[in-house]
Copies of this chain bind each other. A is one copy, B any other.
């Protein structure tokens, strides 16, 4: 499938653009592949283009001065990377890091082209508004669980979610990674996993967490 078709499928807002504008996007934009681990945006950097995600996954997270991480949300096919778009809009530094989590294909629209072609396009603006709103809600949920929920509940919920998403009872993940997801310290996760193993709910190995008793986890997480 050619790039234009893929873009139109993943970003329906683009379908309502005039043919000539669509051609401009394709001609002036560029498709790029980025391997897992690539950092797309660091705090305070300015991005010279608007990136659309065609495949793969990005993770957007905050980094504390002390080195602790906290995942805010992920972006996948059909998403645009807010981090880059938004800091353009206001001139602020976007205070988070966007990193490729699974090898991704990105379509970069140079900012000049973006201004000319998309900036006066209502369906695109609606797409942006919906995206922003979604991120906002997601971050609020994170905020809510961080301030009001206990870590053990959040951990149980995270394990269940992850296990369901992957359709497996055995997760391949380090304690460090879990801590980054939940915005806490590795030691805390190790202790709690240890406790859950002690209860017979989990089996642990290096880079491996196996869920033995999902019901117990569900009950804890309510």
Contact = CB atoms under 8 A, between A and B. Distances in A.
A129 B135 CA distance: 12
A216 interface: no
Contacts of A183: 147
Interface stretch (A12-20, A86-94, A104-112, A194-202): A86-94
A76 to B, nearest CB: 18
Interface in A143-163: 143-144, 146-148
A130 B8 CA distance: 26
Contacts of A132: 129, 132-133, 136
Contacts of A120: 122
Interface residues of A, number: 37
A218 interface: no
Nearest to A96: B140
Given A70-B148, A139-B143, 10 more contacts: A64-B144, A90-B130, A90-B133, A90-B134, A95-B144, A122-B125, A132-B133, A135-B136, A142-B143, A146-B146
Interface of A: 62, 64-66, 68, 70, 72, 86, 89-90, 92, 94-96, 120, 122, 125-126, 128-130, 132-137, 139-144, 146-148, 183
12 contacts: A64-B148, A66-B148, A68-B148, A70-B148, A86-B133, A90-B133, A90-B134, A96-B140, A132-B133, A132-B136, A142-B143, A147-B183
